[in-house]
Amino acid sequence: MSNEQSDRPVRTAAVGQVLEAVTAERKALRALLREHRDMQALNSELMQALEDKQAPGPGAASGTDAIRFGLLEAENTELTTSYQKLLQENNNLFKLYIASHRLHSSLALGEVLDVISEIILNLVGADAYSIQFFDEPSGQLIPVVVRGIERDQVKPVKIGEGVIGTAVTSHQSYALNGVSREDPPDADNPLAVIPLRTNRSLVGAVALYRLLSHKLELRDVDFQLFDYMGTHAAMALNSAQLYTASERKVSKMKEFLSLMQPQGPEPQSGRNPAGGSKR
């Protein structure tokens, strides 16, 4: 339990950092939204002025108005695109904050695995993947969660062997772009591998085999998310594993203590062997 207590301040600080990032992103979003609305209002006024103008006037003035209108239209389009992009990033940050809170607020191993699966599906955008635990005695990565690919295709991998085993030893995420969605998922050649490590040890790995249909490739924001998962998902899994192991030890200890307790004397029936009552 000491490891769990030592990880708790780190998990709290991580959630605080995500919350600060969400707050800053929301402020930037509100400022960009105000600028977008001002630009739309100015654009509408200019369009109305051009429509109300009866005579074209001197050629130089008309050309100046057209150039100005074109520049404003281009700037408005660029601002709209930036606004949509920032809005999407803000939504992803908010989802990440919610997932981070859930990830670090539970010690139930099954729930932690569910949250990691949600991050992979909804934030990374992969529908075929596996979550693997590192088994220290055998030196292998053992698949515990497999989605979107036949489970018997995802076999245990020795550390240092194959794409997954090599990525884990390098301590860096492995990613390969340009894979067609029409290609079937290949368990031996995943699209990406994310090592899950704490400061002390290897916990496991996440292997991605296929992206969702609307996602053509991995982007910079995905690699930032890989770094987040590599650390925080590993911490949450490690804490859940330690908690599960301690619960089992406590349960076994209770069973052992119950067997060691002396049995009390059998209660007397209140009658003598002859069947008469005692006096």
For residue 81, pLDDT over 90 is answered with no
pTM recorded for the entire structure: 0.61
Spatial neighbors of 95 by CB under 8 A, at least 6 apart, are 122, 123
CA distance 232 to 198: 8
CA distance 173 to 190: 12
What is the band of 113 on the pLDDT scale with cuts at 50, 70, 90? very high
Residue 148, both tokens:
């979107």
> Cα–Cα distances in Å, from 205 out to 26, 31, 71, 142, 184?
32, 40, 50, 9, 21
Spatial neighbors of 76 by CB under 8 A, at least 6 apart, are 39, 40, 43
What is the band of 178 on the pLDDT scale with cuts at 50, 70, 90? low
What single letter denotes the amino acid at residue 223? F
Phi and psi for 145 in degrees, rounded to 5? Answer: -130, 125
What's the mean pLDDT in 147-158?
93
> Cα–Cα distances in Å, from 124 out to 22, 117, 182, 198, 226?
18, 10, 19, 21, 8
Tell me the β-bridge partners of 131.
Answer: 145, 206
What's the mean pLDDT in 5-30?
56
CATH architecture, domain 107-258: 2-Layer Sandwich (3.30)
What's the mean pLDDT in 97-121?
86
**What percent of the chain is modeled with pLDDT above 90?**
21
Note the pLDDT of residue 20.
63
147 three-class SS: strand
Rg (CA), the chain: 31
CA distance 277 to 279: 6
> Cα–Cα distances in Å, from 20 out to 12, 24, 98, 119, 210?
12, 6, 13, 20, 32
β-strand pairing of 174-175 with 192-197: antiparallel
Q: Which of 240, 212, 207 is nearest to 102 (CA)?
A: 240
* Furthest C-alpha separation in the chain: 133
Average pLDDT in the chain: 76
What's the mean pLDDT in 121-130?
91
Annotated domain spans of the chain:
1-105, 107-258
DSSP string, 28-97: HHHHHHHHHHHHHHHHHHHHHHHHH--S---HHHHHHHHHHHHHHHHHHHHHHHHHHHHHHHHHHHHHHH
For residue 179, pLDDT over 60 is answered with no
CA distance 87 to 92: 9
- Look at 101 and 45; give whichever has higher pLDDT: 101
- Look at 74 and 266; give whichever has higher pLDDT: 74
What single letter denotes the amino acid at residue 202? L
125 three-class SS: coil
* Secondary structure percentages of the chain, helix, strand, coil, to 5: 60, 15, 25
